[in-house]
Amino acid sequence: MRETGSAAGWRRGFAEQSRDTFAATFAGDVVLDATTLPDPVEGRDQVAATLAAASSIYESLEFTAEVHSGSSSYLQWRATAFDNMSLRGVTILDRGPDGLITAIAIHHRPLGAVLRFASEIRDRLDGTQS
């Protein structure tokens, strides 16, 4: 059953750091935009691989607020990475009529953490994105 109006599948993907768990929640043509990525990532497999790699960077991740409006979910979060460096952010998930995620926007802060995370995700994905 699809988790329409809920971000439980999204949160589970991060908890499990699982490409398959992420992919199960995505439409085939899903698009990921993030402050830590130089370009949008498109397609279920590429987005799932990117998010599985990104989730493995975090030492801790806590979702602190969740709001739903129509087909969109807004999640606020805080995390640590790189020996306890603090990150905060907001994620926006848009869903199609079938409940699958069609668009993702992830906004990290502060800038120093964004730059460090961007460098790390680039290194982890080097050669894996087409």
Per the CB < 8 A criterion, the answer to whether 87 and 108 are in contact is yes
> In terms of CATH architecture, what is 8-125?
Roll (3.10)
Domain ranges of the chain: 8-125
- So what's the pLDDT on residue 3? 41
The residues pairing with 118 across neighbouring beta strands, listed in sequence order, are none
- So what's the pLDDT on residue 128? 63
- So what's the pLDDT on residue 4? 42
Q: E-strand spans in 1-130?
A: 26-34, 41-42, 58-69, 72-81, 85-95, 101-109
- So what's the pLDDT on residue 2? 39
- So what's the pLDDT on residue 8? 79
Consecutive H or E run containing 91: strand 85-95
127's tokens? 């050669």
Q: Within the chain, which residues score under 50 in pLDDT?
A: 1-5, 130
Side-chain half-sphere of 26: how many Cα atoms within 13 Å? 24
Per the CB < 8 A criterion, the answer to whether 76 and 67 are in contact is no
Per the CB < 8 A criterion, the answer to whether 119 and 126 are in contact is no
